[in-house]
Amino acid sequence: DRSPPKPRVQLYVEQKEVQGQEEVLEGSSVSLRCSAETLCSSPPPTLTWSSTPRIPLSDSSRLQELISDLNFTATHREHGVTFTCTITYQLQDKIKTAQDSITVHVQYSPKNTAVSVLPSSSVLEGSSVTLICSSDANPAVNYTWSRESEGQLKQLQTGQNLTFNRTDPTHRGWYHCTAQNQHGSQNSSVMLDIQYSPKNISVLAIPSSSVLEGSSVTLICSSDANPAVNYTWSRESEGQLKQLQTGDTLTFNRTDPTHRGWYHCTAQNQHGSQNSSVKLDIQCE
């Protein structure tokens, strides 16, 4: 029982033979050639290709010379794939096989660049948040973080992660990660939303908190919060707070002395509430 002749797999890049461990640039024309000694056997030997991990293969064979070529344009999908050529032939009612393999290494620009945020891209003020950039490339990429500021991109730091240990509202905005190697670059962005309870609440009276009886007055409540607040107006009456209405404005079209007193605005979102008050004085004519 003779052992079958082992086939030989050779790597050609742009029609020049290179060693198997050499890296191939994406976009290059690649040919894997499998050849074996011809044998007098019936049926004649066959050459077949397989790959690990499996990818679609299309080969062209010249069986009378026992040569099979696998041709493709190199992409990131072929990086790290092992191609195996198997010779199969029948001798004295026994099927024999032998193999040769080659692993292709492709250099390529960054692909599938993405930013993930832990624990979430919307966090409460004071909590910590980490932005993580990932990319598929060979050779490995360098990561650069930048931030949109007044219409410009301002570079922050390098490295795969960007961490804020204690967030505040100034951290809100768009962050960009650039993944780069010598073959190119790719970007990915994320919007960081910092949520916080109401602050800087104030009440403004227009035209003034002291108006003439019969004139109109509008109280306007404002605050800084994220997400937006709901406003509620109430009034002190016999030592109790009596709710009047919701909305950021409270208007009296025709004031009278019964409108005199303290008015309170409450600004509230899911993270908390804050109050502000104003004393309305109605002057008799």
| Structural domains in the chain, sorted by start | 8-108 (2.60.40.10), 109-196 (2.60.40.10), 197-283 (2.60.40.10)
Q: Under a CB-based contact definition with an 8 Å cutoff, are residues 211 and 283 in contact?
A: yes
Q: What is the pLDDT of residue 248?
A: 97
Q: What is the pLDDT of residue 194?
A: 97
Tens digit of each residue's pLDDT (9 = 90 or more) over 252-265? 999 999 999 999 99
Q: What is the pLDDT of residue 117?
A: 98
Of 261, 265, 278, 177, nearest to 225 by C-alpha is 265
Q: How many helices (H) and strands (E) does the chain have?
A: 0, 23
Q: Say how far apart CA 278 and CA 249 lie, in whole Å.
A: 13
Q: Say how far apart CA 190 and CA 228 lie, in whole Å.
A: 21
Q: Say how far apart CA 137 and CA 110 lie, in whole Å.
A: 4
Using DSSP's 3-state secondary structure scheme, residue 110 falls into strand
Of 6, 8, 52, 55, nearest to 32 by C-alpha is 8
Model-level pTM? 0.78
User: pLDDT per position in the chain (285 positions), as tens?
Assistant: 566 678 999 999 998 998 867 789 999 999 999 998 876 666 788 889 999 988 888 877 776 678 999 999 999 999 999 999 999 887 777 888 899 999 999 999 999 999 999 999 999 999 999 999 999 999 999 999 999 888 889 999 999 999 999 999 999 999 999 999 999 999 999 999 999 999 999 999 999 999 999 999 999 999 999 999 999 999 988 888 899 999 999 999 999 999 999 999 999 999 999 999 999 999 987
Q: In sequence order, what are the residues at sequence separation of 6 or more whose Cβ sits closer than 8 angstroms to the Cβ of residue 3?
A: 96, 98
Q: In sequence order, what are the residues at sequence separation of 6 or more whose Cβ sits closer than 8 angstroms to the Cβ of residue 193?
A: 121, 122, 123, 172, 226
Instruction: For residue 59, give Cα distances in angstroms to 62, 67, 214, 235.
Output: 10, 10, 94, 85
Q: Say how far apart CA 201 and CA 188 lie, in whole Å.
A: 37
What residue type is 16 in one-letter code?
K
